[in-house]
Amino acid sequence: MQSLRTLSVAIACMLLAVPLNAQKEKREPLTGQQIEAIREAGIDPNERIKLYTKFIDEHAEVIKGLTNRVHSSARSKRLDDELQDFTALMDELGSNLDVYSDRKTDIRKALKPLNEAVPRWLGMLRALAGEPGFDLARKEAIESGEDLEGDVKRMVAEQTEYFKLHKDEQGQDRAEPK
């Protein structure tokens, strides 16, 4: 009888812990002001890509700044968080690029600076010595950066070719049915 009561208390505690774990605050890689800027730029794809590029650059600078600090558990935790935010932003930018590519949106103006920034970000990530506290986040960021780099190069080529053939559609936000 006592063991049954102990078992039921243990199960009740575990069931109560599940919602608490689900209530953990999800990290947001952007500030409220940055989120608002991206929302406002939502109708201008080139501006939106420029903003993502700028915000990812800002995270890259934070990561670079943390690399020179004394090795500590707090530094490792902060680097892990920053790398996760960095990866989330690159993935989100990649999703936006996919949408713009499908729409045949002319985003060549924004792709040029992005095409220059991605190799710089990858160089910074590869130069960062891995440590147990953030090595997984570093590897995921490198993979995400490599994916983004491939997407950007592919899109530059696709957009150059597409708008060479469809000069009347240059500068458009989306392909209009004819």
pLDDT attached to residue 7: 46
Q: 24-33, 62-71, 80-89, 143-152: which has the minimum mean pLDDT?
A: 24-33
Return the domain boundaries, the chain: 32-169
- Helix, strand and coil content of the chain, in percent to the nearest 5, comes to 80, 0, 20
The architecture that CATH gives domain 32-169 is Up-down Bundle (1.20)
pLDDT attached to residue 175: 52
Distance, CA of 175 to CA of 78 (rounded, Å):
43
- Fill in the amino acid letter for 50: K
Residue 175 per-residue DSSP state: P
- Rounded mean pLDDT, 89-118: 94
Average pLDDT of every residue of the chain: 85
- Chain-centre distance of CA 18, in angstroms? 28
Q: Scanning the structure block, which residue is given the tokens 């190069």?
A: 153
Contact (Cβ atoms closer than 8 angstroms) between residue 59 and residue 114: no
Band (pLDDT 50/70/90 cuts) for residue 20 is very low
Q: What is the pLDDT of residues 31-63, one digit of tens each?
A: 999 999 999 987 899 999 999 999 999 999 999
How far are the Cα atoms of 5, 6, 117, 169 from residue 16, in angstroms, in the given order?
17, 15, 46, 57
- Rounded mean pLDDT, 2-9: 53
HEC string of 72-129 equals CHHHHHHHHHHHHHHHHHHHHHHHHHHHHHHHCCCCHHHHHHHHHHHHHHHHHHHHCC
Going along 8-98, which residue ranges are E strands? none
